[in-house]
Amino acid sequence: MFFLVGLGLFDNKDISLKGIETLKNVDKVYAEFFTSLLFGSSFESIEDLIGKKITVLDRTQVEEESVFLDEAEDADVALITGGDPLIATTHSDFLVECAKRGIDFQVIHGSSIISSAPAISGLQAYTFGKVTTIPFPDLEYNYFPKSPYIAIEENLKMNMHTLVLLDIQAHKDKYMTINEGLENLMTIKDNLDYEGMIQEDTLAVGIARVGSADNIVKAGYIRDLIDFDFGGPLHCIVIPSDLHIVEAEYLVEVAGAPREILDDL
Amino acid sequence: MFFLVGLGLFDNKDISLKGIETLKNVDKVYAEFFTSLLFGSSFESIEDLIGKKITVLDRTQVEEESVFLDEAEDADVALITGGDPLIATTHSDFLVECAKRGIDFQVIHGSSIISSAPAISGLQAYTFGKVTTIPFPDLEYNYFPKSPYIAIEENLKMNMHTLVLLDIQAHKDKYMTINEGLENLMTIKDNLDYEGMIQEDTLAVGIARVGSADNIVKAGYIRDLIDFDFGGPLHCIVIPSDLHIVEAEYLVEVAGAPREILDDL
């Protein structure tokens, strides 16, 4: 049997009891850490918790060889991943493969940036539009893909908030910061041939280390957040659309937004 | 200090290790179960896990009296809730109140239907639009609010999938089923003064009991799913937009969608 186990948001204590029990009971545990990572814990701390060694795979071993699925035909095998499984396409392919080969499978969910970042931003889950990601620019060609800027604008036009994820290149230990993400958006804005909807005076929420005790949720105008020190990864951004009074009050009281945003309501 | 602790998706084993440790360490634990509920576990099983009694509050006690916040001024107090905290507005109000009164707080996240249902549907998280909820109709006045139907249509027009949550009236032990939800959408469609985009031959995914070992993910045309037995609560629905080949293959192989959907790609 094949178990796809999510480790949750931040450290080795974000996994569920169900996840821990599963990892203790299976014959073998594999990990892939290129799609998502835990920041708050060493790898070994997870091994200590479950009392067995974890075999770490690189991208080729996961995507092309899938040795863990061969083993799952005769044994109980788990693959662990950061966050909630199946957010990355790779994982849904494994379940397709299991279904085709008649291997039973179970998914053990975990806390995910997809629900937790909107939640901790204080904005209503129902008023978020499409999620977008800011990729690292190609500096050699001075190329900044416009797609995230356009995605936020499309949400704003329909009065929807946007969760903006920031690029991760885990193999290079590179994690885009909120500051870099906002600078990116401003560079894209400067190169538009029209007046973009996201400007230096647009309200944004920077969210760092969701799931950790020292997480930061800081709301402010882009021109102010762009130099704010949010500390270590992972970072993400929320760009709010029109605010309900309850949302605005949260941003002011909990996330330190300028009190004047309450005047505009 | 005030701790807002999410219990996760389904039963008493979906809480994180961090959540359990917090509940063991605090002086008092409160629960409110009117915004969200655990289905797979008795209430007592959580008390057994944390080794202390939980005080259950009704809506008035939670929203108006907030006795737990008074106590949090001098002691460590936790409020537990199903899923991930802060998805309901009530919770963000507590954090605003904490901020105003100078009470430290921490949020312990949990797995949430908002990320896990899209994940287990096999559709890409990046291609979901706004979430919507089908409310129970007012049968006395034969009133079926059109808003969820319109929300799905708006997403479809922009080629985005929709997560459709189903109404809960926990105090009456009423949980809308996938079948009722789909019947609702078809009733709304029949009463439109135009040709609606969601019809009996529209593809849908019914998802029951996410987070449990016997969860069901079943894709098919609405006319077929409308009579399918999904078992006990909680249920939700995903209405896919145009499918990527990887998504379609998942729906066919893992979720039992008609193989002919692959022909249309």
Q: What does the alpha-carbon distance between residue B209 and residue B75 come to, in Å, rounded to a whole number?
A: 36
Question: Residue B214, class by beta-carbon neighbours within 10 Å (0-12 exposed, 13-18 middle, 19+ buried)?
Answer: exposed
Contacts of B126 in chain A (CB under 8 A): 130-133
pLDDT at B59: 77
Confidence of residue B37 (pLDDT cuts 50, 70, 90): low
Range of weakest confidence among A76-90, A102-116, A213-227: A76-90
For a pLDDT cut of 70, what percent of chain B falls above it? 97
Contacts of A132 in chain B (CB under 8 A): 126
| Most confident listed range (A167-176, B39-48, B111-120) | B111-120
Q: Indicate whether A265 pLDDT > 60.
A: yes
Confidence of residue A167 (pLDDT cuts 50, 70, 90): very high
Q: What does the alpha-carbon distance between residue B22 and residue B13 come to, in Å, rounded to a whole number?
A: 15
pLDDT at A35: 55
**Mean pLDDT, chain A, integer:** 93
Contacts of A35 in chain B (CB under 8 A): none
- Measure Cα distances from A31 to A77, A106, A204, B46, B132 in Å: 11, 16, 35, 30, 35
* Tokens found for residue B38: 């655990």
Contacts of A240 in chain B (CB under 8 A): none
Q: What does the alpha-carbon distance between residue B136 and residue A182 come to, in Å, rounded to a whole number?
A: 42
Task: Give the residue from chain B lying closest to A49, CA to CA.
Answer: B17
pLDDT at B171: 74
Cβ atoms < 10 Å from Cβ of A4 = 23
Confidence of residue B34 (pLDDT cuts 50, 70, 90): low
Count how many residues are written for chain B.
265
pLDDT at A36: 54
For a pLDDT cut of 90, what percent of chain B falls above it? 78
pLDDT at A87: 80
Q: What is the mean pLDDT of residues B252-264?
A: 95
Mark yes or no for CB contact A130/B128 under 8 Å. Answer: yes
Secondary structure class of A56 (helix, strand, coil) = strand
Mark yes or no for CB contact B109/A21 under 8 Å. Answer: no
In this structure, the dihedral spanned by the alpha carbons of residues A101, A104, A105 and A106, taken in order and rounded to 10 degrees, is: 160
If we measure between CA atoms, which residue out of A206, A213, A209, A169 comes closest to residue A38?
A209
Q: Indicate whether A90 pLDDT > 90.
A: no
pLDDT at A33: 66
What is the tens place of the pLDDT at every residue in B48-77? 999 999 998 887 887 777 889 999 999 999
Half-sphere exposure of residue A39: CA atoms within 13 angstroms, side-chain side: 20
Nearest to B119 among A86, A158, A253 (CB): A86
Cβ atoms < 10 Å from Cβ of A105 = 17
Task: Give the residue from chain B lying closest to A256, CA to CA.
Answer: B99
pLDDT at B169: 85
Mark yes or no for CB contact A109/B17 under 8 Å. Answer: no
Under 8 Å between Cβ of A80 and A45 = no
Under 8 Å between Cβ of B173 and B128 = no
Mark yes or no for CB contact B13/A18 under 8 Å. Answer: yes
Contacts of B99 in chain A (CB under 8 A): 253-254
* Tokens found for residue A58: 């690189």
Q: What is the mean pLDDT of residues B202-218?
A: 96
Which residues have CB under 8 Å from B24's CB, separation 6+? B50, B51, B52
What percent helix, strand, coil does chain B show, rounded to 5? Answer: 40, 20, 40
Q: What is the mean pLDDT of residues B212-220?
A: 96
Mark yes or no for CB contact A128/B130 under 8 Å. Answer: yes
Task: Give the residue from chain A lying closest to B151, CA to CA.
Answer: A126
Residue A181 per-residue DSSP state:
H
Bridge partner list, B217? B207
* Tokens found for residue B259: 């193989």
Q: What is the mean pLDDT of residues B240-250?
A: 96
Confidence of residue A225 (pLDDT cuts 50, 70, 90): very high
Q: What does the alpha-carbon distance between residue A139 and residue B16 come to, in Å, rounded to a whole number?
A: 41
Nearest to B93 among A111, A118, A246 (CB): A246
Q: What is the mean pLDDT of residues B86-103?
A: 90
Q: Indicate whether A42 pLDDT > 80.
A: no
Q: What is the mean pLDDT of residues B146-171?
A: 94
Confidence of residue B36 (pLDDT cuts 50, 70, 90): low
Nearest to B246 among A15, A93, A118 (CB): A93
**Mean pLDDT, chain B, integer:** 93
Say if residue B234 is preceded by a cis peptide, omega within 30 of 0: yes
Contacts of B129 in chain A (CB under 8 A): 129-130
Q: What does the alpha-carbon distance between residue A182 and residue A222 come to, in Å, rounded to a whole number?
A: 7
pLDDT at B229: 98
What is the tens place of the pLDDT at every residue in A237-259? 999 999 999 999 999 999 999 99
Under 8 Å between Cβ of B86 and B65 = no
